[in-house]
Amino acid sequence: MNISRGLIKNLILLSLNWNRTAPQLLTKIKSPLIVIPAFNERESIESVVSQLRQLDFNVLVVDDGSADDTARLAKLSGAIVLRLPINLGVGGALRAGFRYAVDKGYSSVIQVDADGQHPAHQIHELRNHAEEHGAHLVIGSRYTSVDATLKPSRARQLVMRLLANIASQSAGRRITDSTSGFRIICEPLLSEFATEFPSYYLGDTFEAVVAAGRAGFTIGEIPAALSPRVHGQSSAHLGLALLMIAKVVLLTTLRLNYQVRITK
């Protein structure tokens, strides 16, 4: 069963590169597309989408094989909905969203979580920073905002500091929150992520930052006051999370991690 599921997952990821519309033939859309990966988020998806639609953004919800009615509620709230037949993980869902954005002519996307933690009112700050500094990736940092309400444990702080130090070395500038999922991604980095993007734990956040920095893309950061999750719980289990952190740190140190093509 696991082999069959893994094969199906890989086939779905490969299919994201088939039958693509050539991006250069499209008129680029200046306003970013909001991409929300969602797995069983029926309790929060309506309010998240509604808030973003009130700000006049186009919203794409990638339903990552949810067993509940996340997709239906997202659509009723005004989102475009892309349904995946099985759960690919956050990275797989994001890559599907990036592929959709590139094929439709968007020149940038903004990642927003489905749990309501990310501050919609700061989306314009991400966009403005990217435009003013020519950044291809701008992260909303939980650790530099004076309004932040999240209080990570000391052990988590140490781990996040280690990851941030590695990300900073790769980016050539100080990064305080390499695992934040609140970020804007602009072309040509967006097309690179749409072609290949890690689907495992920390691959879609920390490792993506490291890969982009090492490829020479410009990375920025702004303070972002993320809120505690109101509904549901994180899918990351402590034991597995620690194992994956150790694995990712080892791979990035040895430069065996996911890599972005150097296009600059």
CATH number of the domain bearing residue 61: 3.90.550.10
- E strands in the chain: 33-38, 58-64, 80-84, 108-111, 137-141, 183-186, 219-223
Residues 156-210: tens digit of each pLDDT:
888 999 999 999 999 999 999 999 999 999 999 999 999 999 988 899 999 999 9
Question: Number of folded domains in the chain?
Answer: 1
Domain with 163 in it: 26-253
H/E run at residue 102: helix 90-104
The whole-angstrom separation of Cα 250 and Cα 166 is: 11
Go through the chain and tell me how many residues it has.
Answer: 264
Q: In this structure, is residue 9 part of a structural domain?
A: no
**DSSP codes, 204-225:** IIIIHHHHHHHTT--EEEEE--
Instruction: Evaluate whether residue 15 is within a structural domain.
Output: no
Residue 116: pLDDT over 70:
yes
Average confidence score pLDDT of the chain: 88
Whether 226 is covered by a domain: the verdict is: yes
Which residue in 36, 27, 28, 94 sits closest to 60, CA to CA? Answer: 36
Q: Which amino acid is at 33?
A: L
In a domain, 240, yes or no: yes
Q: Which range, of 16-25, 49-58, 164-173, 221-230, averages the lowest pLDDT? A: 16-25
What is the Cα–Cα distance from 169 to 157, expressed in whole angstroms?
18
- Is 73 contained in some domain? yes
pTM reported for the whole predicted model: 0.88
| CA gap 75, 73 in Å, rounded | 5
Cα–Cα distance for residue pair 243/205, rounded to 1 Å = 16
Asked whether residue 19 is assigned to any structural domain, the reply reads no
Kindly give, in sequence order, each residue whose CB lies less than 8 Å from that of residue 92, ignoring residues fewer than 6 positions away. Answer: 9, 12, 13, 64, 84, 197, 199
For 196, the token pair is 């290949």
Q: Give the pair of three-digit tokens for residue 157.
A: 């702080």
- Taking the C-alpha atoms of residue 192 and residue 203, their distance in angstroms, rounded to an integer, is 14
Task: Please give the pLDDT value at position 19.
Answer: 46
Is 16 part of a structural domain of the chain? no
How confident is the model at residue 21, as a pLDDT? 45
In a domain, 245, yes or no: yes
Encoded tokens for 148: 């932040």
Compute the C-alpha angle 33/80/12, nearest 5°.
90
